[in-house]
Amino acid sequence: MNPLPLIVYPIIAIMAVFVIGFFGDFYGAALSQRSNPATQTSACTTDAGGGCSFALNGEHALPDLSGALIDETAPGSADRTSLGTLGVDRQTVTMVGLAALTGYTFDVAYLAPRTDLPPIIGGLLNVFPWAVILGAFFLLLVVGVLLWTQMGR
């Protein structure tokens, strides 16, 4: 019987647990180092289809509205984040599914990229979580292969 599968499967299982358990923490830590919280109040009037757009004061650090919060403050009060989409420019927020021809005011909290970081550091913080995960995977793989070769002797 070849002992390789006996080593490889536990390594894959350990790696899966590691990724599931710690990736969120690594990603959150890297994101908090490359962004600052920003808030603003924005207003827009919906069109006949119930949609409107407004611009953020600066770019959002992520390509979608994850990490952002859009609270309607007028005419009502509700979390409207799920009704918004972020434009390709990471500054334009488009709201849909609102009442037609109505003025809305929103309090918006989002993550602005840190301007004091050199681009290379921001890029490294972007790939940091993946580097840790892949590094741990290769380390476990090397340990597994070494154990496998020792078992064959």
Please give the residue range of the domain that contains residue 44: 4-151
pLDDT at 23 over 80: no
Q: Give the contacts of 49 (CB within 8 A, at least 6 positions apart).
A: 96, 100
Provide the whole-model pTM. 0.70
Domain count of the fold of the chain:
1
pLDDT tens for 81-96 read: 999 999 999 999 999 9
Residue 152 — pLDDT band, cuts 50, 70, 90? Answer: low
pLDDT tens for 27-83 read: 777 778 888 999 999 999 999 999 999 999 999 998 999 999 999 999 999 999 999
Q: What is the pLDDT of residue 105?
A: 97
Q: What is the pLDDT of residue 3?
A: 55
CA distance 116 to 111: 14
pLDDT tens for 105-142 read: 999 999 998 888 787 887 777 787 778 778 877 877 77
Q: Give the contacts of 36 (CB within 8 A, at least 6 positions apart).
A: 111, 112, 113, 114
Q: What is the pLDDT of residue 81?
A: 97
